[in-house]
Amino acid sequence: MDNITHSLVGALIGQAGLKRKTGLAMPALIVGANLPDVDAACFLWLDGVEHLGFRRGITHGPIAWVLLPLVLAGLLYAFDRWQAKRGTRPEGRLPVRFGWLYALAFIGCLTHPALDWLNVYGIRLLEPFSSQWFYGDTLFIIDVWLWALLGFATWFSLRRERRGGEWRRPARIAIAVALGYIGLNGAISASHGWHSASPLSDSAKTISSPLPVLSFARDELSGKVNDWHYLDGSAEAWVPIVPDEMRCAWPDTVLLRRSNRDLDAFLFWSRAPFAERAPDGSVLIRDARFYHPRARDRFSVALPDVRCESLPVSVRAEEAGRS
């Protein structure tokens, strides 16, 4: 999920009552909820789309869950001691307890992979012990309704606190509603998977991709490598993700990956890869999950030295028959 959502979750957990456990509890929760995204620093040394094969991996796995909160707790504890020595420590701050700082940073950090798992992008939850990708297919990566719920509840709780009212209850109710909202969306995705199972082939995968804003709607994708279709609701038929004239035969990626780091990273990350004809007649490797104008350049790899070979007529006829 996006970092606004991660931050609001950390803040709301604090407003549910945990921020009274120690001084600097809110920074521990909010920063902790964003900690795994330190892997975004990879943009400083990785080119092209190599970041796709790096992000949501080692910093989102079990070792990071333990070590990153420890580093954060240590920094916050040292900051409190530093302010005390300089005489700038706020008088109203609660005593800082390292054990609680670590516990809250740990809780905040755990919410991050839990939320990231919810979308179709994927996360390697067990890295470095396993590089398997996991997908929740439950929420779009930015959910404006979750923003509204979490943001309003945090504001309302803080407002009540300033006025001396009961401020924990609104936050706790909002957390329960958010969990219910996530659970409902998970059930919708599962239901779509059961009722729109693809007739394309026994080996086809089906992906229910949540839409932005229309959070209860789904884009249905089905297929396998270089053979992806979407469910056209109006025609009640599975349609190829790209027209026949734009499709290419799948190139020898085993050999190409050895010399093309972008391609190797992309195929490691990709869940629904296919080959498309570029304007110059070469090959573009894309992912069906992100095949729309705003994402095409970010989620694709160009193979300028590989010519697009049209799919054999027999293959196109077979796919048409399945559709």
- Same domain for 225 and 104: no
Q: Which residues contact 196 (CB under 8 A, 6 or more apart)?
A: 206, 208, 220, 222, 231
- Same domain for 184 and 66: yes
Rounded to whole angstroms, the Cα distance separating 32 from 13 reads: 12
Query: 38 with 56: CB under 8 angstroms?
Result: no
* Residue 306 covered by a domain: yes
* DSSP secondary structure letter of residue 297: T
Is the entire prediction scored with pTM above 0.75? Answer: yes
H/E element holding 317? helix 313-322
- Same domain for 160 and 26: yes
Q: For residue 279, what are the domain limits? A: 244-315
Rounded to whole angstroms, the Cα distance separating 34 from 82 reads: 24
- Same domain for 228 and 167: no
- Same domain for 166 and 250: no
- Same domain for 169 and 60: yes
- Same domain for 172 and 270: no
Tens place of pLDDT for every residue, the chain, 323 residues? 999 999 999 999 999 999 999 999 999 999 999 999 999 999 888 888 999 999 999 999 999 999 999 999 999 999 999 999 999 999 999 999 999 999 999 999 999 999 999 999 999 999 999 999 999 999 999 999 999 999 999 999 999 999 999 999 999 999 999 999 999 999 999 887 655 555 566 667 889 999 999 999 998 898 898 989 988 876 678 888 888 889 999 999 999 999 999 999 999 999 999 999 999 999 999 999 998 766 667 789 999 999 999 887 545 545 555 54
Task: Compute the radius of gyration of the chain from its Cα atoms.
Answer: 23
* Residue 193 covered by a domain: no
* Residue 323 covered by a domain: no
**Bridge-partner residues for 224, per DSSP?**
227
Place of tokens 């085993």: 254
Rounded to whole angstroms, the Cα distance separating 139 from 10 reads: 18
- Same domain for 311 and 163: no
Domain count for the chain, please give it. 3
Collapsed DSSP state (helix, strand, coil) of residue 26: helix
- Same domain for 50 and 10: yes
- Same domain for 300 and 152: no
- Same domain for 182 and 209: no
- Same domain for 66 and 13: yes
Query: 252 with 263: CB under 8 angstroms?
Result: no
